[in-house]
Structure 1
């Protein structure tokens, strides 16, 4: 910026930094433009921040930064500098290996997002060079390429997790997401099967398919979780404990999505679903691993087996709508919410890591929540 539009920077204690205004006003101590501060962070990189209303605000911020830098041990400062010098691609790879709570499917998903959307654009950029402008440019590049909103949000979420990890560890001096407006994915209208459609699928499906349908529409399990059906998971007459899923690729038991190894969640177990599980155990027996479902070529039910049997039952039942197995989870959510069960409980039972997604997808299924609240409040006022 030219000298005419930038005031002379005011120096403070050596090493603390300076503050100034980026304007050409005659009386800058009274003009409304904000102060800018300039300093060197713990990694030695020069930084600028703006938005400080008064000189004292700017000085207080510089003092806090100076104090933090002075009291940061040299070994810690060196570690921060090392993180900041790394290329994003290398840092992302090491970050992913540290996510030990990720299920194999989650690791594959993150790798797909990294390789497909993020690394082609940001792989060679140094970690300490990320700012809000870099993040916003990345979002704009996806918009210019007409990337779908769901893919944009996935890429943004992965990038945010990695960079905030670097920020917390000191590799990035300031939060690169402060003030950034994220791409917002509004899920398209969901398709909920009717009870008649579910009954038709069960009537024309195999014994194994009926159990999967019951666990998904009655307990809210995901496909792979239902494939891991196990009698030992009935921990009470009305409680089913979800401890694992059958991985799509390995066709073997794996940890739950959004859970660390050994973690589980529990869901309500309707009596009809419990009887369905027990009946399958009586008629087909229990497999070598204790699981109820298995295919001809595997110890466990596979996704390909599920797809084949689902399409066959759908065709025999004469169902023309484009229903897929996951729509059974939508039925579960709809059944819960229409009966007044809190959406927080529904999110927990369905295994959502973030209730915001539950709200986005299912809030419209909540029965007249505003109108009901108005009536209840009115009753209280008139009591």
Structure 2
């Protein structure tokens, strides 16, 4: 039975057949009248307090909202997530800190719309969002990717909430996925030498740029002889995007921004030797011309062929070659602030969380160094 509140506020109930509804795990549904006097229902409230709080907010909002504004909000709230995304995505002109516009759209196409895209905005509650995150976890989606998908969904829901499509914040109390990177696998020098030997000549150059300069895969594929700005400095200006396979801006950078990285003599010699033996495009690219040659199936085949020929090594993949750069730098006393900048991380915290195990004695070493001067004054 629905339990009535104060007159005009509506009611809340559990639409289940449990013998003791107040103790069963099913969510509460609320029933109320909107500003136009039409009866509506929302579900997904875990407790009576949450249901009553929502009814109270709706009642207060109805008192101060004109029928015309309420109708506009109602129509907006009747849109599904997928429908709203169709008009919302083109308005996301700015590239976010974490995603390009194309990546943002792909999160809706691949993960969000198939699961909750048909749900109306006015029915989205924190419980709905939490259940969606549980679905991603159950499907084995990695925590890092979960976080990116959540950011896309939460940005849309926040926009809808601000425009009145949802009277209550659908993100209230929702805990975003926590991304804790696993301990990275770092190949040794012998393994890297073998990889360069068995890889095809293009992939071998990518590996050299990753282990020697700390470049990402896509950045290595965009290698350009014109980016050698000094004998020991390489300027990273662009990447081959992993989805479009076209030249694109750097990750976590705006259009036109770049970073400069150390260019070891061995890497410089490798680049120059490659250019001499295989040539360059008229714009100086070694691996990629204006129209190719990268494609996703081709890339997967080249990488699969490489690691099939190499000795099995748990956790080692293409990105492990970039990890070697960090290991080599930090292990030889190069400051982590410099390493973070060269690798293009968004913050030093990313570098520290990923590679802190490479500096196990840093605190002990610091205590010993500081003690040298303290002995004379303490």
Shift of 1:327: 1.4
Residue in 1 that maps onto 2:311: 319
1:265-307, CA deviations, whole angstroms, 9 ceiling, x for partnerless residues?
A: 3131223322322232233222144311259xx6445555555
Q: Which residue of 2 aligns with 1:335?
A: 328
Q: Which residue of 1 aligns with 2:17?
A: none
> Which residue of structure 2 lines up, in the alignment, with residue 264 of structure 1?
257
Tell me how far apart the structure 2 counterparts of residues 380 and 81 of structure 1 sit (CA, whole Å): 70
- 132-141 or 300-309, larger mean C-alpha shift: 300-309
The answer to whether 1:349 aligns with 2:360 is no
1:211 to 188, 196, 205: 205
Deviation at 1:229, TM superposition (A): 0.8
Q: Deviations over 1:308-355 (max 9, x none)?
A: 555556666x53326432211111222233344454544443334466
Using a 3 Å threshold, how does the CA distance of structure 1 residues 139 and 300 change in structure 2: closer, same or farther? closer
The answer to whether the 8 A contact 1:88-1:124 is kept is: yes
State the SS of the aligned residue for 1:137. helix
Q: Does 1:87 align with 2:74?
A: no
Q: Aligned partners of 1:136 and 1:345: how far apart in 2?
A: 39
What pairs up with 1:36-75 in 2 under 5 angstroms? none
TM-superposed CA distance for 1:264, in Å, is 2.8
Deviations 1:341-377 (A, max 9, x none): 4545444433344665544433333343443454456
In structure 2, distance between residues paired with 1:219 and 1:199? 16
Stretches of structure 1 lacking an aligned partner (at least 5 in a row): 10-16, 18-39, 52-61
Distance (whole Å) between structure 1 residues aligned to residue 159 and residue 370 of structure 2: 44
* Displacement after TM superposition at 1:227 (Å): 1.0
When the two structures are superposed, what TM-score results if normalisation uses the length of structure 2?
A: 0.67
Q: 2 CA distance for matches of 1:276 and 1:75?
A: 69
Name the counterpart of 1:182: 176
Task: Give the whole-Å Cα distance in 2 for the aligned partners of 1:381 and 1:327.
Answer: 41
User: Which among 151, 156, 161 is matched to residue 150 of structure 2?
Assistant: 156
Q: Kindly tell me: are residues 250 and 356 of structure 1, through their superposed partners in 2, closer, same or farther at Cα, counting changes over 3 Å?
A: same
Residue aligning to 1:242: 236
Q: 1:356 to 1:41 in 2, by over 3 A?
A: farther
* CA–CA separation in structure 2 for the residues paired with 1:180 and 1:233: 45
1:230-250 Cα deviation digits (max 9, x unpaired): 112223333322222224455
User: Does the C-alpha gap of structure 1 residues 379 and 278 become closer, same or farther in structure 2, counting only changes over 3 Å?
Assistant: same
CA RMSD of aligned residues (A): 4.8
How big is each residue's C-alpha offset from its partner over 1:98-133, in whole Å with a ceiling of 9 and x where there is no partner?
344379x95565455434432233223333444433
**Secondary structure in structure 2 of the residue aligned to 1:361:** helix
1: CA distance between counterparts of 2:306 and 2:135? 44
Residues 124-203 of structure 1 correspond to what in structure 2 (within 5 A)?
124-143=118-137, 145=138, 147-150=140-143, 152-167=146-161, 171-172=165-166, 175-203=169-197
Q: Is the 8 A contact 1:248 1:302 kept in 2?
A: no
Q: Distance in 1 between matches of 2:41 and 2:253?
A: 40
SS of 2:364 mapped into structure 1: helix
Listed one character per residue, the Cα deviations across residues 206-254 of structure 1 (whole Å, up to 9, x for unaligned) are 5433321121112222212211111122233333222222244554323
